[in-house]
Copies of this chain bind each other. A is one copy, B any other.
């Protein structure tokens, strides 16, 4: 589908059609805006300007602002999924270690990509309908699936297989998500915790998750 280069600014760089790949450029611009000025800086006009086009141009690629935001969230989930996939693929001594590595990768992703993370978990930015379609929640579902897999593997290895989504998955998710949120939302970083400290905390939290995953099958009373 890509036509030949127009005049070729740089060798090897293609300018397929007019701008090239405005859609992608807009998503990247939007993410950068959030990185620099937080959620309030995420506007259609600013994204267009940063991408080097007029502020009406985005409407040829996104129905409205919510659709652009949804695309940013989607891109974020895609990146998270890749980060988790990498962590899951790394050699691990046991299913438990693999789950812990996944948890640490989750926290690390949030700390290193606060802009994406914030957009991903801000439902009011992209109201229902904006992100519809089968592929919209694809990356998010895929990322979640990796957690489910890792938890299931731990339970299987311990002789307590569980069908469907083990409750331990949600506990594990809550732990790392909470740690990431507290860091991004200020309380933790405001308390003077160094960025290095977050890694140590992540280890602590994932350790706790493992206990929770173990206990998740048993009655929780006590």
- Point out residues on A near B: beta carbons under 8 Å: 38-40, 121-124, 140, 144, 167-168, 170-171, 173-182, 185-188, 193, 200-201, 203-205, 207-209, 211-212, 215-216, 220, 222
Question: Given the complex, which residues of B lie within 8 Å of A180, measured CB to CB?
Answer: 178
Cα distance A168–B200 when bound, in Å? 12
**Contact A215–B204 (Cβ < 8 Å):** yes
Copies per complex of this chain: 2
- Which B residues touch A204, using CB under 8 A? 167-168, 170-171, 212, 215-216, 220
Given contacts A38-B124, A124-B39, A174-B182, contact A215 B220 (CB under 8 A): no
Main secondary structure on chain A at its contact with chain B? helix
Q: Is the CB of A208 within 8 A of B201?
A: no
B207 touches A222 (CB 8 A): yes
Chain B residue numbers with a CB within 8 Å of A124 are 38-40
With most chain B CB atoms within 10 A of its CB, the pick from A39, A185, A193 is: A185
Given contacts A170-B182, A170-B201, 11 further A-B contacts (CB under 8 A): A40-B124, A121-B186, A171-B201, A171-B208, A174-B176, A174-B178, A175-B178, A175-B205, A176-B178, A177-B182, A211-B211
